[in-house]
Structure 1
Amino acid sequence: MAQTSVSSSLPKTCKAGVVINEGPDFKLAVEDVPVPEPGPNDVLIKLNTTGICYSDIHYMLCDLPIPPMSSFGVRSPGHEGAGIVVALGSNVTNWKIGDRAGIKPAYDACFDCELCWAGKETYCDQSPQIGLQFPGSYQQYVLSPARYTQRIPEGVDDFIAGPIMCSGSTIYCSIKESGLRPGDWAVLPGAGGGVGHMGVQLARAMGMRVVGVDGGEEKRELCMRLGCEAFVDFTEVEDVAGEVVGICDGKGAHGVFVTAMSKEAYASAPLMCRVGGKVMCIGLPPTGTAFAGADPLLFVGKNLTVMGTKVGSLLDTTKALEFAARGHMKPIYEVFPLTKMPDAVEKLRSGKVAGRLVIDFNA
């Protein structure tokens, strides 16, 4: 019988960020946890980095209409890690020790339904979430099904690859699904955030005219540096939607990509659109705090579309990584050592982040 293949001596335990007292008063602590052993069809990945995503905060706050992490026996969130394969299950033949590999939000899929066959496997009923139903990338050694582990190309380091596993893949998928074309106006509420700032770069690389919407001078500077043609500061402008429409030829945006989570961002998005415009729902507000829509007369009169998109597929993530390898997308990030992971989580929770926060497991 084939045996599990393991790189030179693996430790019995590893460091992990674990949630304590999940819910509104949660805390994150760094503790030792057992290093898992791969099953026959798994790879074991030693992560060098993980991004910190607001979805992790949602999971720890328990403010989404899904079962809590604890119901699955999971303590470590996280879903955008990058590292190397250090052990192989007995049936794994498509990976080898030392290969670079990434962890993304979807853990696996059935690959035996029309959604999987159509490249929409993240919507598959049998597509569980890592960092929710399985221990996530806040843990340095994590398991991943070999058939659904993401390969990382040369020219993309782990600090760039980690955030692309979720943020970059998510916004790539949304831009693709929107059908916007070169020369179209793309507006991004939340443009200075983890998903938004990568959307600015991707939309620009695809030939779109980009308008960022966010608050504060730090985010204005970031957005303009990354390729926004204009920036609207919601802390200074009273009629944000009107300002956006004026910038976009006085007609409005072809697509509004709502990466922000606020009630105001979702309420104003349809008002920013031109006839035939699309509102793309990406940011996840806490349950019951926001509504994606407007008076039906507006939708009828302007032929508007509202569409939601999740994180991208394996192919979407590969394409996003290719943009990064060609130099068209680079996450702007602040690095924290593993010991400061609780500080990074608190900083993101407080909304004080321009770009992305990334944990260096080796610092």
Structure 2
Amino acid sequence: MATNLPKTMRGQFLDAFKKPYTLRCVSLPNPTSQHEILIKVDAASYCHTDFVLAEGQMPGFPRSFPHIGCHEFAGTIVSHFESPSSTASTFKIGDKVGVPGRAFHACGACFECQGSKDPVSRDEPGYSVYCAHAENNGLSRDGGFAEYAVVDAQQLAPIPASMTAVEAAPLMCAGITIYAALKRCQLQPGQRVGIMGCGGGLGHLGLQYAVKMGLRVIGIDAADGPLKLAKSLNTGARIVDARTENAADIIQQVGVEDGKKDRGEMGLDAVIILPENQSAFDYGMALLKTHGTCVVVSFPEKGFHVSAHDIVFRDISIIGSLVGSNKMLREMLNFSAEHNIRAIARSFPLSKLNELVEEYHKGEGGKLVVDMALDTS
């Protein structure tokens, strides 16, 4: 147990939907049950889901106001609940950890926790990020837009020594989500993948991961800022402006490169859909070869229209991808450290979270992160 902890902390609170955050002091939270750990938040990354939540577009969340958002953050362990059977004891005071929002207090007993049939993202029996009974930091309970947060030891991942908290925080949702989506494509090195929305928070990380996985990558976006950011990475991926290049032309070019003449053989093996608009979904589906896979990550309020013709006559598989397991989270962090994969991010102090949100709405791509070291007053 750490000593000399403060009795209060500052946090940015949502007091109602469609309102700015309010900075104020509250009592310091404490670990009170099995697996709970108190961390000093070092960095907290802003996600599109934070915006969706604040707008009231996630039914049932938050459970109540006031609410502290952020489900992708990183920090330093300062205390934990003492219990011989708690996984909290596997972490020491001072350890640097990354915190995804899912899954706080997984039940340990449901179908998912006892070992679901998911072949791609599965933890050992006893814990699952897909547990329907678990809570989520930043959604159903308080998250990382505060100086301290109570988290579940089972959801944590050690941060590699070569990585800072500001670098790790965006990987706790954006990183693990796009990494898991690429894994769900189940591709082999040399196969082709397309990333719709390649210049956004997830997309620009996906470009880096996919190239380092040995895939042949086409990134597609339709806005100047994200396209500029995607091109600046110099990953070797082909970057396409969907406003000026159509899917049919890309398919023909890919077919020539691959020496294919039959339309069914021409195109991409998989695409990942990150934007929430129908045009991006349609563009991605059009890029696929017969028997291709479409991995849907975004969840627009009104859903997507799906062509039965694509599913029946082209045998296109459409699957969803939410997050990865804790095991995959650790794999992703080590992969990121090994290949020097980082988010392109801009940092703000906690006190200027509302300014960060204003920047988010400009749609310039990359990630925006609260760096607690920038605001120590």
Answer whether TM exceeds 0.5 for this pair.
yes
Report the 3-state secondary structure (helix = DSSP H, G, I; strand = E; otherwise coil) of the residue aligned with 2:293. Answer: strand
Residue 349 of structure 2 contacts residue 373 of structure 2 at CA under 8 Å; is this kept in 1? yes
Partner of 1:111: 108
What is the aligned counterpart of 2:26 among 23, 28, 33?
33
Q: Which amino acid in the other structure matches residue 31 of structure 1?
A: R
Query: How far off its partner does 1:152 sit?
Result: 1.6
Query: How far off its partner does 1:228 sit?
Result: 4.6
- Is 1:327 matched with 2:327? no
Partner of 1:55: 49
**TM-score, with normalisation over the residues of structure 2?**
0.87
**Alignment deviations for residues 69-92 of structure 1 (CA, whole Å, 9 cap, x no partner):** 1x3455111011111001111214
- Is 1:122 matched with 2:129? yes
Write the distance in 1 (CA, Å) between the matches of 2:236 and 2:19. Answer: 36
Residue 197 of structure 1 contacts residue 331 of structure 1 at CA under 8 Å; is this kept in 2? yes
Write the distance in 2 (CA, Å) between the matches of 1:27 and 1:246. Answer: 48
Residue identity over aligned pairs, in percent, reads 26
Partner of 1:281: 296
What is the aligned counterpart of 1:158 among 165, 168, 171?
165
CA gap 1:249/1:229 in 2 versus in 1, 3 angstroms: farther
CA gap 1:74/1:169 in 2 versus in 1, 3 angstroms: farther
- Is 1:137 matched with 2:144? yes
Residue 50 of structure 1 contacts residue 81 of structure 1 at CA under 8 Å; is this kept in 2? yes
1:253-264 alignment to 2 at 5 Å? 253-264=268-279
Report the 3-state secondary structure (helix = DSSP H, G, I; strand = E; otherwise coil) of the residue aligned with 1:173. Answer: helix
Residue 211 of structure 1 contacts residue 228 of structure 1 at CA under 8 Å; is this kept in 2? no
- Is 1:336 matched with 2:348? yes
CA gap 1:351/1:253 in 2 versus in 1, 3 angstroms: farther
Partner of 1:67: 60
Residue 15 of structure 2 contacts residue 65 of structure 2 at CA under 8 Å; is this kept in 1? no
Partner of 2:313: 301
Query: How far off its partner does 1:190 sit?
Result: 0.7
Write the distance in 1 (CA, Å) between the matches of 2:335 and 2:362. Answer: 27
1:1-363 alignment to 2 at 5 Å? 5=1, 7-22=2-17, 25-41=18-34, 42-64=36-58, 66-69=59-62, 71-73=63-65, 75-91=67-83, 92-108=88-104, 109-116=106-113, 117-118=115-116, 119=122, 121-226=128-233, 227-237=235-245, 239=246, 241-249=247-255, 251-285=266-300, 287-288=301-302, 290-291=303-304, 293-294=306-307, 296-348=308-360, 350-363=361-374
**TM-score, with normalisation over the residues of structure 1?**
0.90
Residue 156 of structure 1 contacts residue 324 of structure 1 at CA under 8 Å; is this kept in 2? no
Report the 3-state secondary structure (helix = DSSP H, G, I; strand = E; otherwise coil) of the residue aligned with 1:115. Answer: coil
Query: How far off its partner does 1:293 sit?
Result: 1.7
Write the distance in 1 (CA, Å) between the matches of 2:29 and 2:229. Answer: 40
Query: How far off its partner does 1:138 sit?
Result: 1.0
Residue 226 of structure 2 contacts residue 363 of structure 2 at CA under 8 Å; is this kept in 1? no
Q: How many aligned positions are there?
A: 348
Query: How far off its partner does 1:204 sit?
Result: 0.4
Residue 201 of structure 1 contacts residue 328 of structure 1 at CA under 8 Å; is this kept in 2? no
The alignment's C-alpha RMSD in Å is 1.8
CA gap 1:337/1:317 in 2 versus in 1, 3 angstroms: same
Moved over 3 A (4+): none
Residue 100 of structure 2 contacts residue 155 of structure 2 at CA under 8 Å; is this kept in 1? no
Q: Which amino acid in the other structure matches residue 172 of structure 1?
A: Y
CA gap 1:247/1:87 in 2 versus in 1, 3 angstroms: farther
Write the distance in 1 (CA, Å) between the matches of 2:32 and 2:200. Answer: 37
Query: How far off its partner does 1:221 sit?
Result: 3.3
